[in-house]
């Protein structure tokens, strides 16, 4: 194929990149990019992939590896590359989450582990909790020469899990037992791997095993390094010590060029073992150079001004941000509303959002209702109030990850085109492009025509077989099996590596089937069912952690008060970063709510920074 010369290559589908971003796109050295909200971090990585693939710098059979923290970020990046490159180029861009990357290594090469560390295949992915730690301590039988149970009882679960169980790279021959904590770690690993026939592992444990595989199999490590000439690391501020060790083992001794992007002001995963200073480690281990980005393509100038004031409490020396969007609303872009109680709050917000949708031609997905945690506690009151104005809200925590799966997208496109009206024909190019990608069909006219005829026939058969909405879950199972059969399961698994091993793909199909069936009763047509499943007509309610990477016209942040920020005192830096992340989701307007009489001792600093930035406070009367 013909390549674009280095001098002639230009960014694709965007007017321009800021100079520092363009420098990173064309870089041949390790860079870590510090970029605030709305700076276009994902776009930068997509453009860099296009540059490397289209100029032939990353020449076949070399590949690009992108590792993101969240599933939707990995999917979003992969889709941007597919839209901007040929099928052949996109097929050499592998976009994983850290968890999926670790799991792919373990699933393919688990036999390379020493027997003491070798899990069963399949194994079960679990989330261990304090309860299991308590049960473990209750049944612990420590040999007298090792120590005493009292030492373990003084260790809480979080400390044990992060520092003792996962704190260091695994030694090849098993853990050396020298005291109570190392004995407990050794026993925990032994129980997880060998007890009960099927191993039980968390994703961080899988990460430790994957790193061990690479460290003690030099030939396998060389193959990995020779395969991936370029490596992207997205949302790098949330990288854990387990994940960093895996990247270091995999690529510190390689000639691969690494590009890490993130924002230390948005580090909200410290509770999940995120490193204190991942960018400093990257600089030391990979000799990376810091490149800042200063533009904000998301938020209006007034919101960016307040955002900069908030960022100053997280970063004492922030860069001044350049807003690239215009203000499109009248009145206050940021307000604090004070209510009598939660019922009053829900009723007022329902009326307000209903009016904004009507007056400004917005839709429910232009809004988000955020909470620091425990979203389920807010939903019943919100649901009651919003139903009164013919709107609905939905807790996104259970379904958000499912909606980001590539297989889910494949199913939804197929169903929309098979059962939808003519208005969905614009999706035809997207589905036929996915089919061409899965089948490896190039731009040959005969091949493309045959592909289109085949897809038309499949959609007609799907429509004739399932025209009525299934009233039994088994029928939805059968429908999904028909879609998998047409698009070919081996092709799907080949295109999306996370589905290749273990029971992940089967579990995904079952999860998707169950969630689709939940909407059968209240739907009169396929369009209604799919709209409900995708949440098209409901306002999303989510935690700050779930909203990361998303953006909305208007954001409502509930309960800026101590009772909702009880963890503030334990880790004020993470809480401040979470506040910054929540604020930066808004494109045009954000509203914070409080309740009369509730205390703001812990969050007083957050409240005051808003007041100092000129944010108005309104007492909302019934």
Mean pLDDT rounded to a whole number for the chain: 90
Comparison of pLDDT for 425 and 621, the residue scoring more? 621
Lowest mean pLDDT among 238-252, 374-388, 496-510, 538-552: 496-510
Q: What is the pLDDT of residue 444?
A: 64
Q: 618 pLDDT band (50/70/90 cuts)?
A: very high
Most confident of 110-119, 600-609, 613-622: 110-119
The pLDDT of 591-617, averaged and rounded, is 89
For residue 427, list its beta bridge partners.
none
Residue 148 pLDDT greater than 80, yes or no:
yes
Q: What pLDDT is stored for residue 424 in this prediction?
A: 66
Q: Give 598's pLDDT tier (boundaries 50, 70, 90).
A: confident
Strands 63-68 and 93-97: what pairing? parallel
- pTM, to two decimals: 0.88
What whole-number distance in Å separates Cα of residue 318 and Cα of residue 310? Answer: 10
Query: 240 falls in which pLDDT band (50, 70, 90)?
Result: very high
pLDDT at position 196, please? 73
Task: Name the pLDDT band for 501 (thresholds 50, 70, 90).
Answer: low
**Beta 31-35 vs 93-97: how paired, if at all?**
unpaired
| Mean pLDDT along residues 103-124 | 93
How large is the average pLDDT for residues 398-409? Answer: 88
pLDDT at residue 496 in the model: 81
pLDDT digits (tens, 9 = 90+) for 284-305: 999 999 999 999 999 999 999 9
How far apart CA 422 and CA 116 sit, in angstroms, is: 59
For the ranges 375-389, 439-453, 499-513, the maximum mean pLDDT occurs at 375-389
Positive or negative, the CA dihedral 564, 603, 269, 36 is positive
Among candidate residues 9, 16, 6, the one with its CA nearest the CA of residue 43 = 16
Q: What is the pLDDT of residue 187?
A: 95
Give the pLDDT score at 428.
85
DSSP state, 337?
E
Give the model's confidence band at 425: pLDDT under 50 very low, under 70 low, under 90 confident, else very high: low
Q: Is the pLDDT score of 316 beyond 80?
A: no
Q: Point out the least confidently predicted range of 105-119, 214-228, 415-429, 450-464.
A: 415-429
List Cβ<8 Å contacts ≥24 apart for 84-87: 84/12, 84/13, 84/46, 84/47, 84/50, 85/49, 85/50, 85/53, 85/54, 86/1, 86/443, 87/436, 87/437, 87/440, 87/441, 87/442, 87/443
User: Which residues are CB-contacts of 22 (< 8 A; sequence separation ≥ 6)?
Assistant: 11
- Under the banding of pLDDT at 50, 70 and 90, the label for residue 468 is confident
Question: What per-residue confidence (pLDDT) applies to 149?
Answer: 85
114 vs 121 pLDDT, higher one: 114
pLDDT score for 271: 63
Is 255 strand, coil or helix? coil
Residue 328 has pLDDT above 80, yes or no: yes
Task: Look at phi and psi of residue 492 and say left if phi exceeds 0, alpha if psi is from -120 to 50, else beta.
Answer: alpha
- Asked if pLDDT for residue 474 goes beyond 90, the answer is yes
Q: How confident is the model at residue 421 (pLDDT cuts 50, 70, 90)?
A: low
Q: What is the pLDDT of residue 346?
A: 96
The predicted pLDDT at position 1 comes to 63
The residue-averaged pLDDT of 228-256 equals 94
Confidence of residue 498 (pLDDT cuts 50, 70, 90): confident
pLDDT of residue 443: 61
pLDDT mean over 178-192: 95
Residue 369 has pLDDT above 90, yes or no: yes
Query: What pLDDT, on the 0 to 100 scale, is given for residue 272?
Result: 66
239 neighbors 275 (Cβ within 8 angstroms): yes
Peptide bond into 9 cis (omega under 30): no
Go through the chain and tell me how many residues it has: 622
User: Do 394 and 538 meet the contact criterion of CB atoms below 8 Å apart?
Assistant: yes
pLDDT at 206 over 90: yes
Q: DSSP class of residue 274?
A: B
Residue 371 has pLDDT above 90, yes or no: yes
Confidence of residue 164 (pLDDT cuts 50, 70, 90): very high
**Percentage of the chain lying above the pLDDT 70 cut:** 97
Say if residues 594 and 337 touch (Cβ distance below 8 Å).
Answer: yes
Cβ atoms of residues 535 and 396 within 8 Å: yes
Residue 375: is its pLDDT beyond 80?
yes
What mean pLDDT do residues 408-418 have? 93
Question: Is the distance from CB of 550 to CB of 298 less than 8 angstroms?
Answer: no
Of 481, 476, 458, 486, nearest to 523 (Cα)? Answer: 476
pLDDT at 274: 78
Q: Which of 12-21, 182-191, 584-593 has the lowest mean pLDDT?
A: 12-21
More confident residue, 302 or 521: 302
Over 90: is that where the pLDDT of 191 sits? yes
CA-CA-CA-CA torsion sign (579, 301, 26, 16): positive
90-107 mean pLDDT: 92
| Res 229: pLDDT | 95
Of 21-30, 366-375, 462-471, which range is least confident?
462-471
Q: What percent of the chain has pLDDT over 90?
A: 64
């Amino acid at each position: 194929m013909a390549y674009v010369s280095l001098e002639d290559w230009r960014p694709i589908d965007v007017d321009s990149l800021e100079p520092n971003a363009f420098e990173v796109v064309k870089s041949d050295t390790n860079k870590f990019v510090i970029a605030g909200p709305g700076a276009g971090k994902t776009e930068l990585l997509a453009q860099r992939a296009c540059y490397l693939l289209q100029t032939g710098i990353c020449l076949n059979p070399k590949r690009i590896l992108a590792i993101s923290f969240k599933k939707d970020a990995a999917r979003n990046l992969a889709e941007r590359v597919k839209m901007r490159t040929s099928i052949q180029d996109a097929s050499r861009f592998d976009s994983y989450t850290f968890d999926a990357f670790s799991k792919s290594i373990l699933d393919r090469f688990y036999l390379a582990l020493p027997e003491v560390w070798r899990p069963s295949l399949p194994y079960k992915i679990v989330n261990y909790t304090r309860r299991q730690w308590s049960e473990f301590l209750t049944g612990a039988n420590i040999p007298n020469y090792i120590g005493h149970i009292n030492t373990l009882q003084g260790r809480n679960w979080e400390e044990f899990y992060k520092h003792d169980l996962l704190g260091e790279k695994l030694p090849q021959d098993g853990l050396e037992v020298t005291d109570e904590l190392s004995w407990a770690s050794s026993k925990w690993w032994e129980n997880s791997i060998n007890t009960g026939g099927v191993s039980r592992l968390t994703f961080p444990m899988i990460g430790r095993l994957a790193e061990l595989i690479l460290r003690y199999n030099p030939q396998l490590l060389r193959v990995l390094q020779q395969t991936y000439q370029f490596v992207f690391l997205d949302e790098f501020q949330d990288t854990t010590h387990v994940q960093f060790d895996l990247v270091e083992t995999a690529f510190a001794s390689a000639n691969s060029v690494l590009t890490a992007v993130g924002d230390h002001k948005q580090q909200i995963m410290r509770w999940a073992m995120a490193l204190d200073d991942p960018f400093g480690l990257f600089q030391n281990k990979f000799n990376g150079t810091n490149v800042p980005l200063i533009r904000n393509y998301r938020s209006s100038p007034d919101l960016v001004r307040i955002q900069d004031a908030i960022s100053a409490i997280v970063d004492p020396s922030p860069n001044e941000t350049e807003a690239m969007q215009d203000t499109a609303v009248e009145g206050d872009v940021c307000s604090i509303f004070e209510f009598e109680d939660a019922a009053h709050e829900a009723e007022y917000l329902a009326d307000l959002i209903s009016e904004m949708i009507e007056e400004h031609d917005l839709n429910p997905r232009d809004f988000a209702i955020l909470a620091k945690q425990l979203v389920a506690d807010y939903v019943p009151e919100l649901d009651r109030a919003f139903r009164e104005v013919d709107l609905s809200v939905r807790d996104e925590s259970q379904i958000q990850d499912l909606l980001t799966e590539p297989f889910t997208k494949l199913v939804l496109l197929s169903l929309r085109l098979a059962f939808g009206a003519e208005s969905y024909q614009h999706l035809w190019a997207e589905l036929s492009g996915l089919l061409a990608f899965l089948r490896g069909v190039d731009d040959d006219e005969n091949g493309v025509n045959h592909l289109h005829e085949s897809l038309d026939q499949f959609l007609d058969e799907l429509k004739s077989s399932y025209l009525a909405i299934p009233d039994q879950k088994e029928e939805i199972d059968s429908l999904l099996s028909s879609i998998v059969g047409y698009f070919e399961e081996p092709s799907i698994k080949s295109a999306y590596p996370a589905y290749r091993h273990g029971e992940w793909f089967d579990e995904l199909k079952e999860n998707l089937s169950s969630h689709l069936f939940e909407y059968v009763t209240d739907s009169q047509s396929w369009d209604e069912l799919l709209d409900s499943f995708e949440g098209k007509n409901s306002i999303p309610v989510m935690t700050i952690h779930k909203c990361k990477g998303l953006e909305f016209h208007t954001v409502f942040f509930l309960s800026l008060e101590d009772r909702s920020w009880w963890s503030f005192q334990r880790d004020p830096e993470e809480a401040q970063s979470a506040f910054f992340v929540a604020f930066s989701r808004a494109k045009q307007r954000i509203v914070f709510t409080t309740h009369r009489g509730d205390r703001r001792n812990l969050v007083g600093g957050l409240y005051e920074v808003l007041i100092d930035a000129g944010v108005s406070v309104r007492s909302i009367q019934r």
